[in-house]
Amino acid sequence: MYERKEKYTLPIDFEMAYTLAETGEWDSFKMKNGKLIHNGLHEQIVGFLDAFDEELLAKSLSVFKFLERECLQVRLRLIDGEVVCSKIIKGEKKSVSSTKEIKTIISKLVFHAKTQGKEIEYIEVVHTHLGRQSLTVTDGKITHLKTHALSEQDFSCIAEVKEFVDYPIKIKAITQEKMTYSKLVA
């Protein structure tokens, strides 16, 4: 006799991720020092979008799915609270830039900031991850989780860039559900 299984998929937004962390139903999310953490390849802080992130996400999305592209922006976070942003780089459907291009952008921004006597706290390399995050529930139990957290490719790219940069770099991915995944690389 065939047993019918109840199966459905739900979107993952910040509230859902927080609930997963609080209940311990799935070990991909947890609370640590008052912050929501994603246990991916590396621990990543899960957060909300700021105004700069909102603009970057808007540039990635389109009414027509086939026109959507990942976007990237480099930002200098200065000691005085000012933020200096590069222009927004539009990429492809699943990738946005090369290590060489990111290094060039950082070099230009740092040079410009230094010539103006600005003090840099850290550098932020922010990009969008397109596609929906979801979890699948089968017979009342979570059986699959799909997130768009920082990838191994993201981390290896920033590791290469970091070799040439004297400042901490925060890498950040923005999802369509208006969540961020970030990690500071000292």
Asked, for residue 145, whether it belongs to a domain, the answer is yes
Alpha helices in 3-146 (DSSP H): 14-23, 51-60, 99-115
Domain that holds residue 62: 7-185
Asked, for residue 1, whether it belongs to a domain, the answer is no
Model confidence at 27: pLDDT above 90: no
Distance in angstroms (rounded) separating the CA atoms of residues 74 and 53: 11
Asked, for residue 129, whether it belongs to a domain, the answer is yes
Q: What is the pLDDT of residues 86-138, one digit of tens each?
A: 999 988 766 667 889 999 999 999 999 999 999 999 999 999 998 899 999 99
Give this prediction's pTM.
0.90
Asked, for residue 154, whether it belongs to a domain, the answer is yes
Strand ranges across the sheet with 134-138:
7-11, 134-138, 141-146
Asked, for residue 2, whether it belongs to a domain, the answer is no
In the chain, the number of structural domains is 1
